Structure 1
Amino acid sequence: QIGIVGRTGAGKSSLLAALLRLAEPTGEIYIDDVNVLKIGLHELRNKISVIPQDPILFSGTLRKNLDPFEEYTDDQLWIALEQVQLKVKVQSEREGLYMEVSDSGHNLSVGQRQLVCLARAILRQNNILVLDEATANVDHSTDRLIQETIRSRFKNCTVLTVAHRIHTIMDSSKVMVLNQGKLVEFDTPYQLLQIEDGFFKNLVQQTGKAQAKVLQSLAENYHK
């Protein structure tokens, strides 16, 4: 569970672009001792689930959005929808799994679109999950549901979270702090908060005195 933080322009999105080879890296990135440049592009991206800040949905049925290559049964899709608490919503639609999704999913709320992406990731069962500020545009109840689902369903996976709200990564195994395209700190949230005038500590303090105290307490609790 790796959190990725940094100010705007620090290089968070560029790091993910390099990992997914949206931009070819000039250096080297290894996954399980395998250089990603040695892996076919389709195979690499097929093995990494991504939940972007702006949910990717297309015009067609909900089923097609969840399972575009028809690899899963209806029962598997219903289980995934239940785990993200969308089953009741979809069952209430006359067409069920075959309900129409408009272009970009505009007939669903932002939170619902995000949950569809999460259900899609649950179906894929990949060992690497990337969240690109996935909770930045959703309400707090959906935010909480996404975080709880990730902790339970992906606890044995590598999860990389680009954090928009710092509290979402306070239980991370390690936090990667980026500044001007460079890795400047990498440790547990608790240890990073012990660094006087550290980058991560400054980011926490900028949330305000009351919130910083809450974040400090979370870091201490997860450290115990």
Structure 2
Amino acid sequence: MLFGRNKTSGVEWLLVGLGNPGDKYDNTRHNVGFAAIDQLAEELRVPVQKLKYRSLTQTVELGGAKVLLMKPITYMNLSGEAVGEAARFFKIPADHVLVLSDDVSLPVGKLRIRKGGSAGGHNGLKSIIQHLGTDQFPRVKIGVGEKPHPDYDMADWVLGKFAGEDLKTITQAIQRAGKAAECYIHDGPDQAMNRFNG
């Protein structure tokens, strides 16, 4: 059942990278979702710069499907406003809204694919759950490492930038995240989890 999907547009999936807009957030831990979308766009040789649904967007063919790449420009904690708007417009069911986000509970560069689940304290995911009305949407979580000690401010940690070995590791992980998303769309969750949850 296609949930009466909007045939004219043909968009079948939303692939959403989470982050904060603005140069000062580039290369921060919280922006690895944006970075993964940028990396994918570079490989596909398309710009992600059409301003629609409160996001920078581009429609691409990925994994044999028509996919709208999205970078919400609402700031992280309001990401759901952009995602909800696009999902309603294209009549995309939640299980076809694939979100790329940072995860502080995973070691730097480790990927974890999930079919759904709680926000785990992530404000971007929390906002998307709120606006889609369900937590059953897939995500590729990109490990950015835990904060160095318990007293360290979480906001300072996620808004900090990668350096040294971590930068190399995360650069590779960002490339793999795009491939994981493509695999999820083309081969389904089980295949993607088997290949990329390492």
Give the structure-1-normalised TM-score. 0.26
Structure number with larger C-alpha Rg: 1
Give the structure-2-normalised TM-score. 0.28
